[in-house]
A = this chain, B = another copy of it.
Amino acid sequence: MMNNRLIDKTSVIPMYYQLAKLLEGQIRRGELKPGEAIPTETEISARFAISRMTVRRAIAELVTSGMVNAQQGKGTFVTMPKLDNIVFELNDFNHNIQQSGILAKTTLLEAKIVRLNELLQEKFAVSNANVKFLFSRMVVSAAEERLAYETKYTLYSKSKPILESDLQDPTLPGLVAAHSNFLPVSAKKVLQVAAATELEASILGIVPNSPVFLIEQTIYDPEHRTVGWSKSIYRGDRYKLTGYDGWYKKD
């Protein structure tokens, strides 16, 4: 159940952003299902003791990213996904894979996906284009999870000065600088990628608060020979793939 402890009013992170991420998480985890109405603005406002305008701004983020659609007089509803996209939800995918008994979630996170593309195409008859898309989604989700986990771990397990420096410069480049001495390499990589794309985002005029990931991945075979690669920019619900013009969206 929603709890107002999940919104930190004293944080440097704007409340509307916290709330947007909270709702986004509920949608991604399936706690708010496609087609369902999310709580009304008044309800959310009361539940978290924040003003309705702030709630509206949070919801506006979700509307922009296409996760929900608001209908005046009726309510705000979680966008219905198409059949194809269900595959691309990380949880569902891991679930499917685990059921099949071929690859477990841990395997995916440990980046030991070998010839996964072939596997997907042969065993699950997934098209090549969809494999590419699937990969980018997996990498992004994994990166997000890992970033969240390792940052939390670092902040909770290390000394105080680090936390203070974080507060002094909460931007991603700042985090990279502050953490570069003791962060695990994988997290540093993720932070660097995020920092790089945040810089790129500012150049390209993208809204600062929308998370942007630039993902380049290479697929190796067991002998560590390159068998393929793909590159994608991921911003909110939109993604851009090498070889495909323009921005694409979930639905």
Using a CB–CB cutoff of 8 Å, the interface residues on chain A facing chain B are 63-64, 66, 69, 79, 189, 192-193, 195-196, 199-200, 202-205, 207, 214, 216, 228-229, 242-243, 245-246
CB proximity of A42 to chain B, nearest CB, Å? 20
A79 touches B205 (CB 8 A): yes
> How many protomers of this protein does the assembly include?
2
* 25 A-B contact pairs sorted by A residue (CB < 8 Å): A63-B207, A64-B64, A64-B207, A66-B205, A69-B205, A189-B203, A192-B199, A192-B202, A192-B203, A193-B203, A196-B196, A196-B199, A196-B200, A196-B203, A199-B199, A200-B214, A204-B216, A228-B245, A229-B245, A229-B246, A242-B242, A242-B243, A242-B245, A243-B243, A243-B245
Other A-B pairs, 17, CB within 8 Å; known A79-B205, A196-B199, A229-B245: A63-B207, A66-B205, A192-B199, A192-B202, A192-B203, A193-B203, A195-B199, A196-B196, A196-B203, A200-B200, A200-B214, A204-B216, A228-B245, A229-B246, A242-B242, A242-B245, A243-B243
Q: Which residues of B contact A246 (CB under 8 A)?
A: 229
Complex Cα spacing A69 to B195, Å: 20
Can you list the 8 inter-chain pairs with the closest CB atoms, starting with the nearest? A66-B205, A243-B243, A196-B199, A196-B200, A192-B203, A196-B203, A69-B205, A193-B203
Smallest Cβ-Cβ distance to A199: which chain B residue: B196
Q: Which residues of B contact A79 (CB under 8 A)?
A: 205
